[in-house]
Amino acid sequence: MLENYWAKLEATHEKLATQKIESATFLDYFQKQVFNIALKQYASARVALLQLLENKGTPNLNQSLRLPQDDQPISSTRRALPGIELPKFSGIYKEWRSRRDLYQSLVGNNQDVPGVEKMHYLRLCLTGEPLKLISSLPVSEDSFRSAWRTLLDRYENKRLLVAAHLDQLLNTTSMKSHSASDLNFLTSSVTEALNSLKALDLHTDHCGPLVVHVLTRRLTNKLREAWENKIGAFTEYPTLEDLLEFLQGRSRAMETLESGSQSLSSRNSSRPSQPSVQTRSTTNSTAKVN
């Protein structure tokens, strides 16, 4: 019965969505995203029913609820999805691989999660163009593979992925302030881009001098001066490993100093104010006169 009600709702939603009525988008149904709310409730109810059937051991309704067939393996205790929120993918190429791997690890490769729920979670963690690509597919057992293949065909493009990570590497933002947070953001952005290129089977071993040149140009003047003082006695061009090791040490020192400054400032602000010297002198003079 749950499947029948959902099928009717989905069919009605498709009719409303395809109607070319300008005022339709202003209806409460679309403004309050009623369909998305119903989708979440449907998925939750379906999970609860499946778990209830498994606990009671009544396989007679498997066919109506689209449980695995007799020849498919099924675990005795269904593993629940992790209680974390999956990050959304909006179509940015440099984020595709990390989003893809995380979703596959938690949901896509989970044999205990039926296809209808995989499709539900897939739609929840997409936004913008990726969501539009699969928006015409229904939330059903059979549509997940089609949706996943559509996303792979669109974003599993090695040439564009490499270009995106090279842009990240060569167009990193310069430090805006001489702080540990800005330095950590800069170095993590560079190392993330290099690791992503390696994951795409690109050899980055010979890119060291180029990365050192780009990275040092993004440092503050104080850090560049400290770096030049460190390598001033050498004539060989420094390696990327040497620069990253230097920056990591500087980051730790800056974090320690910033933490100490914050603690000192906090203690000073919590102290009660002391009377000024002039006030004490006036008080003493008044006492002598009396």
Mean pLDDT over the full length of the chain = 76
Structure confidence at residue 216 (pLDDT): 93
Contacts 24+ apart (CB under 8 A), 237-241: 237/209, 237/212, 238/212, 239/208, 239/212, 240/207, 240/208, 240/211, 240/212, 240/215, 241/208
pLDDT at 57 over 50: no
Highest mean pLDDT pick, 98-107, 138-147, 181-190, 274-283: 181-190
- Looking at residue 17, the DSSP 8-state letter turns out to be H
Whole-prediction pTM? 0.54
Q: Is the pLDDT of residue 18 over 60?
A: no
Cα separation of 67 and 110, whole Å? 15
pLDDT digits (tens, 9 = 90+) for 69-122: 334 443 433 444 445 677 889 999 989 988 898 888 888 888 878 888 888 889
